């Protein structure tokens, strides 16, 4: 061992929070000043970004978080957390179970959509007109037969979270609260997708929150991070409902069901000639 005590301490250096005897500060603000004066959404922003957001920005973030809290027990994140709550672990483990499932596929479309919007913005910065920039980007998706993240929904023909968030974002752009450029890209993508298919392919919650987070200046990876914070609320509520019900060892189907088996039929272990085990 050749390290020093300073090196050991410095390994955990942070700019998020300062803690010491009787001192807790978040990004420089004493916690005793924040309590009762800032909202949870402002605190999320402060910890992630380093500065407090202005009120209108914080309200946009809060709206996006509220929109994503829950989508019912058919979502694997919710179902897994409910099952965990019946297995004799704490609510913390149940929430961890649900949140852990918000991976590239179940919680990743927002991040991917932010990257799509940024790429279109990059084409615009390079001189392309909006329709051309979008068309070029969508052509790339078609070419590699990839689905366009943030559009369409397996349950909803028109995601009910689309309209209120698009309306808030459009109003914020009109008021100069946000630039509005990413929202314009989002709407143009939606228009071109619908035009090509001949029927609407509306933005879903991942897409509209992606535009909102882009407008607010969040990094794409945080689309997933913020979705995790939001969905934790629903995960906890469902785990708690299951806890109160008192179910023990909840499987995906009632005990009267069993999983069909389609592997090799019954067979004896080589060399055992079927003698009793």
Q: Is 134 in the site for a second copy (CB under 8 A)?
A: no
User: Do 149 and 128 meet the contact criterion of CB atoms below 8 Å apart?
Assistant: no
- When the beta carbons of 21 and 126 are compared against a second copy, the nearer one is 21
Window 55 to 84, contacts with a second copy (CB under 8 A): 59, 62-63, 65-67, 69-77, 79-80, 82-84
Q: Is 276 in the site for a second copy (CB under 8 A)?
A: yes
- When the beta carbons of 141 and 240 are compared against a second copy, the nearer one is 240
Q: Is 200 in the site for a second copy (CB under 8 A)?
A: no
With contacts defined by CB under 8 A, how many residues of the chain interact with a second copy?
A: 144
Q: Is 118 in the site for a second copy (CB under 8 A)?
A: no
Cα four-point dihedral sign 141, 142, 145, 149: positive
Whole-number Å distance between alpha carbons of 220 and 52:
20
CA distances (Å), 43 to each of 25, 47, 124, in order? 12, 6, 33
- When the beta carbons of 133 and 177 are compared against a second copy, the nearer one is 177
**Residue where the block lists tokens 């052509």:** 139
**Phi, psi (deg, nearest 5) at residue 82:** -65, -45
Least Å distance, CB 200 to a second copy, is 12
Please name the residues in contact with 202: beta carbons below 8 A apart, sequence gap of 6 or more: 151, 152, 153, 156, 157, 158, 159, 162, 190, 194
- When the beta carbons of 123 and 227 are compared against a second copy, the nearer one is 227
Q: Which stretch binds a second copy (CB under 8 A): 119-127, 129-137, 180-188, 263-271?
A: 263-271
Binding mask 202-241 for a second copy (x = CB under 8 A): -------------------xx-xx--xxx-xxx-xxxxxx
Any idea what DSSP says for residue 268?
P
**Residue where the block lists tokens 């069901």:** 257
What b/e sequence results for 116-147 when a residue is b if at least 16 CB atoms lie within 10 Å of its CB, and e otherwise?
A: bbeebbebbeeebebeebbbebbeeeeeeeee
Q: Other C-beta atoms within 10 Å of 100: how many?
A: 13
- When the beta carbons of 77 and 120 are compared against a second copy, the nearer one is 77
- When the beta carbons of 91 and 128 are compared against a second copy, the nearer one is 91
- When the beta carbons of 143 and 268 are compared against a second copy, the nearer one is 268
Q: Is 246 in the site for a second copy (CB under 8 A)?
A: no
Cα four-point dihedral sign 237, 243, 248, 254: negative
Q: Which of 126, 127, 176, 254 contacts a second copy by CB under 8 A?
A: 254
Q: Is 146 in the site for a second copy (CB under 8 A)?
A: no
Window 2 to 41, contacts with a second copy (CB under 8 A): 2-41
């Amino acid at each position: 061992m050749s390290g020093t005590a300073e090196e050991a301490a410095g390994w955990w250096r942070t700019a998020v929070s300062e803690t010491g005897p009787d001192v807790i500060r978040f990004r420089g603000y004493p916690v005793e000043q924040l309590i009762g004066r800032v909202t949870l959404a402002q605190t999320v922003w402060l910890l992630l970004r380093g500065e407090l957001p202005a009120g209108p920005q914080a309200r946009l973030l809060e709206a996006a978080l509220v929109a994503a809290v829950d989508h019912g027990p058919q979502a694997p994140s919710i179902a897994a957390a409910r099952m965990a709550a019946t297995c004799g672990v704490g609510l913390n483990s149940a929430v961890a179970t649900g949140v852990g499932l918000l991976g590239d596929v179940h919680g990743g479309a927002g991040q991917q959509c932010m990257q799509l919007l940024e790429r279109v913005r990059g084409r615009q910065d390079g001189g392309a007109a909006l329709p051309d920039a979008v068309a070029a980007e969508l052509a790339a998706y078609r070419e590699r037969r990839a689905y366009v993240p943030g559009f369409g929904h397996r349950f909803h023909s028109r995601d009910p979270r689309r309209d209120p968030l698009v309306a808030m974002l459009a109003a914020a752009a009109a008021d100069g609260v946000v630039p509005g450029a990413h929202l314009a890209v989002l709407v143009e993508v939606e228009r071109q997708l619908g035009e090509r298919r001949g029927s609407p392919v509306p933005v879903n919650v991942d897409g509209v929150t992606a535009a909102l987070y882009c407008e607010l200046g969040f990094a794409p990876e945080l689309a997933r991070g913020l979705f995790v914070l939001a969905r934790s609320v629903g995960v906890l509520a469902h785990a708690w409902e299951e806890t109160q019900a008192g179910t023990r060892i909840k499987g995906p189907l009632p005990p009267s069901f069993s999983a069909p088996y389609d592997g090799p039929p019954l067979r004896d272990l080589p060399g055992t000639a079927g003698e009793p085990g």
